Amino acid sequence: MRRRFTIEAEGLPDLTGMMLATVEALRQIGGSASIQELDEKVIEIEELSETEQSHLMSGDDQRTRVNYYLGWARTFLRRGGALENSARGVWALTDKGEQIASISQTQAIYKQVNDEERERAKLKRQAKKKQTGTPLEDPRSLEDVAQDTASEDWKSKLLETLRAMDPSAFERLSQRLLREAGFIKVEVRGKTGDGGIDGVGVLRVNLVSFQVYFQCKRWKGSVGSKEIRDFRGALQGRADKGLFITTGTFTSQASEEATRDGAIAIDLIDGDRLCDLLKQYDLGVKTQMIEDVTINGAWFDSL
């Protein structure tokens, strides 16, 4: 199969190719998907290597390049009317998106959105110049804007905080999270050199209990299939299930290895899901609801 795009350690990948791969992935899934499902499907159909999946953004943003730029591919498609997304984070093809089948179509959307952005930036500069009498600088590149957007992302800030934690403190955080999620008898064993196992807990589901060993690692980039195999080796003969928690991501090969037939199942919690769980259980993350009041002048005029 001819690849639509490649991911290198540096440089801007072919976003139009990523857009086309995103549309095809959604089509194969059934027209709608969560971000994680969609990213995994794109990686699968494009057959990205673990090396490609492990390349990180530069600076403080430690997201993988493939996930970062797939986010921009979705944004271009949404602005071009080919995708829509719900408040729950589900992305779906529109009627326009259903018609996309060639790279020329995604290139046209890419050009359309960029032209609209340039026009918007031009009008903004003109308005600012009228106010201050001095011109603004030229519009920044896509990557500059993207990095600024990333710096405002609460998950990026939270992951940066988590990666700066002492390893033992991160293990205690994982212990607290599992307790909040319903585990009992959660013990941290990270300092015993116990074959990569950081702790153990018991999960009760109705009348059945499962002993779950977990590993929690502050990780930059992607956890590969080798780490999953090593963790499973430490579980042999000891646990019903395994749980791998990381601040990074998992390669598609790691996800496949975690659910391999005939082997101990290992559940995976990546950095994105870890942030959601900490927010859900109110562990170091506070959500503030802001009331937005608007006045309907037409209603008063109708009296």
| Averaged confidence pLDDT in the chain | 86
CB neighbours of 293 closer than 8 A, spacing ≥ 6? none
- In a shared domain, residues 83 and 177: no
Q: How confident is the model at residue 73 (pLDDT cuts 50, 70, 90)?
A: very high
- In a shared domain, residues 55 and 94: yes
pLDDT value of residue 150: 42
- In a shared domain, residues 138 and 192: no
Between CA 76 and CA 80 the distance in angstroms is 6
Of 172, 181, 188, the closest CA to residue 203 belongs to 181
24: in domain:
yes
- In a shared domain, residues 62 and 177: no
| Model pLDDT for residues 201-210, shown as the tens digit of each residue | 999 888 888 8
Between CA 245 and CA 278 the distance in angstroms is 12
Q: Give the tokens for residue 288.
A: 């503030």
Domain boundary among 151, 174, 199: 151
How many domains, the chain?
2
Q: Give the tokens for residue 231.
A: 């963790």
Between CA 20 and CA 100 the distance in angstroms is 8
- In a shared domain, residues 136 and 226: no
Residue 148: pLDDT over 50: no
pTM: 0.69
pLDDT value of residue 146: 47
CB 23: neighbour CB atoms within 10 A? 24
Report whether 124 contacts 116 (CB < 8 A). no
pLDDT value of residue 240: 80
Residue 151: pLDDT over 50: no
Q: How confident is the model at residue 147 (pLDDT cuts 50, 70, 90)?
A: very low
Between CA 284 and CA 170 the distance in angstroms is 13
Q: 220 lies in which domain range?
A: 162-280
- Quick one: angle between helices 65-79 and 103-132, nearest 10? 80
91: in domain:
yes
pLDDT value of residue 141: 46
- Residue 216 C-beta-side C-alpha neighbours within 13 Å: 27
| Model pLDDT for residues 86-110, shown as the tens digit of each residue | 867 789 999 999 999 999 999 999 9
| Model pLDDT for residues 208-251, shown as the tens digit of each residue | 888 899 999 888 888 999 999 999 999 888 888 899 999 999 99
Instruction: Write phi, then psi, for 92 (nearest 5 degrees).
Output: -145, 150
35: in domain:
yes
Instruction: Write phi, then psi, for 292 (nearest 5 degrees).
Output: -115, 110
